Structure 1
Amino acid sequence: MTVKENIDLSTLPTLKESYDLTKEQVESYQEKGHILLRNVATQDEIDIFEPIISNRVKELNYHDKPVEERDTYGKAFIQIGRLWEQSEAIARFVLAKRFAKIAAELMGVDGVRIYHDQALYKEPHGGHTPWHQDQIYWPLDTDKTITMWIPLVPISEEVGSMTFASESHKAGYISKVVISDESHRTLEQYVKGKGLQTVTYGAMAAGDATFHAGWTLHNAPGNPTDTMRKVMTVIYYADGTRVAEPDSNARRGDLQAWLPGLKAGDLAQTPINPLLYKKGE
């Protein structure tokens, strides 16, 4: 599945070592729908993987217009998925047991599979990411989904991390509107109307990570600096999840892309959704 490169995999960190969570951290995540964890990957580990990921993102960048000439979605970031399928070295990072174990423990499940990865690189002077829920795209019949958002470079206070609407995940499916100016207006009104607390974690070091539930409302500011905001994301779901009936074009597209060959009611398991962590193994 992955492509071999001229990289000695034996020199790469294994990322198998456990990152221990406290009971309070798990409870906070489950109540709020988001959490910041410091030093999920060490600086030495990031120093090795960042250039490998960044080089692949540069090769695959599809944008052919300046930032200012794109629509809101295009201004938000360079978005590249399937990186782990194209690189054995990147697979070492994306499929890491350490990250998957955190995801499983935060959700309170025994095992997790990968839905997909995504590099989200916000270019210098790139635009904001509108309010949205990730799971409107995912044909997964569960609320046990989670995204890890891990910077590969320091994120300054000026650039900032994402903004989350605490406890919004408890409402489930709020709106089918995909990421757009419309989703930003609609969901911003929802957040204010419900009186939801919004939280941003501000500056983050490379290797810190946020985790948020698939239904958690969130957005991100633009990048006012002259440097690239380099972030890698991995989406996980509970092992044993079944495919939901795709009720939108977005979900039909995702079903084809990330759960190929499956239909509603099938177990969400394909060769590109390997089991990354199982409790006790």
Structure 2
Amino acid sequence: MEATRSKESRLDELDAPYTLDPAAIDFYRQRGYVKLKHVLSPTLLDYYDNIITELVFRLNTLSKPMEERSTYERAFLQIMNLWREDEQAKAFVFSKRLAKIAADLIGVQGVRLYHDQALYKEPSGGITPWHADQFYWPLASPNTVTVWIPLQETPMQMGPLAFAEGSQHVEIGRDLEISDESENILADELQKQKFTVHDTPFDLGEVSYHAGWTFHRAGPNTSTQPRKVMTMIYMDKEQIISQPRNEFQVADLEKWLNNAPIGSHPQSDLNPVLFSY
């Protein structure tokens, strides 16, 4: 009976509406990101930490020593679509609480899942270079947003996510994949254009949302513990699939959008609507 009550309370929390201050919506739309405190409870995060971490280490195929990895491989272990691997992970990914925040921030009537991904930056893991996520996505509209959920308190030495404020409004560097090149070019260009970089720790229960075209990065993990993060990428439920503009978008069209026709809405079982008014 206790286990049943605990399960019900977890699911209730994942679906309960979060009170989103209108000022947070304005902040997001102007600056391309927002950090929100007390979105998920420590108890809930501890529970799903165990589930997600077990999945990450069971499904991970990257076993090379850190010194033999590329910059991208040193940045994190990356495991995607955990919701298709485990029913409890699915409950977390399908959270209406988190999806409603996404819909309200981007100002749409509902959001679909693009995909989820766990991003685990190991101890001694390197930087995550400057990049914009939507470079990889064959999606016509900028109405996309990623929620970044640390599963532990994330001090500066763990490499929290940092954002170039307002960078979603400019088109510099939109043709750059995540790499040493994107780090160098964008760091220089963002500094020249005097973008403010927001780089601060995350409290336990604090999450961030950032737009698909917002430039962001993370520092190395110099701590002795992995930086464990779960993310979900949402898109407007009325999103339109666009002609791929690079090889990565060709791959994404197949893997995450089931090769749906160009000009259509994503409508396969891979892209369920997670919240709708």
Bin of the TM-score, shorter chain as denominator length: over 0.9
What is the distance in 1 between the residues matched to 2:201 and 2:214?
Answer: 20
1:53-89 Cα offsets, whole Å, 9 max, x none, are 1000010111121112211001000000010011110
Q: TM-score, normalised by structure 1?
A: 0.93
Matching residue of 1:245: 243
What is the distance in 2 between the residues matched to 1:274 and 1:215?
Answer: 22
Correspondence 1:76 to 2:72: no
What is the distance in 2 between the residues matched to 1:160 and 1:80?
Answer: 18
Segment of structure 1 superposing worse, 154-163 or 39-48: 154-163
Q: TM-score, normalised by structure 2?
A: 0.95
1:162-211 Cα offsets, whole Å, 9 max, x none, are 111111101257332211101111111220121111111x2222321010
| Aligned partners of 2:150 and 2:204 also within 8 Å | yes
Runs of 4+ in 1 over 3 A off after TM superposition: 7-10
Segment of structure 1 superposing worse, 115-124 or 44-53: 44-53
1:2-42 Cα offsets, whole Å, 9 max, x none, are xxxxx979726111101011111100000000110011110
Segment of structure 1 superposing worse, 189-198 or 99-108: 189-198
By how many angstroms is 1:153 displaced? 1.3
1:94-138 Cα offsets, whole Å, 9 max, x none, are 110000000000111110000000000000010000000000001
* Correspondence 1:111-150 to 2 at 5 A: 111-150=110-149
* Correspondence 1:97-112 to 2 at 5 A: 97-112=96-111
Q: What letter matches 1:208 in structure 2?
A: E
Percent same amino acid at aligned positions? 39
Q: What letter matches 2:7 in structure 1?
A: T
| Aligned partners of 1:243 and 1:265 also within 8 Å | yes
Between the two proteins, the alignment pairs up a number of residues equal to 272
What is the distance in 2 between the residues matched to 1:102 and 1:136?
Answer: 23
What is the distance in 1 between the residues matched to 2:173 and 2:264?
Answer: 25
Structure 1: any 5+ residue segments left out of the alignment?
Answer: 1-6
By how many angstroms is 1:264 displaced? 1.3
Pairwise CA RMSD: 1.5
| Aligned partners of 1:242 and 1:265 also within 8 Å | yes
Q: What letter matches 1:158 in structure 2?
A: Q
Aligned partner (choices 8, 11, 32) of residue 7 of structure 2? 11
Structure 2: any 5+ residue segments left out of the alignment?
Answer: none
Q: Which has the higher helix share?
A: 2
| Aligned partners of 2:157 and 2:220 also within 8 Å | no
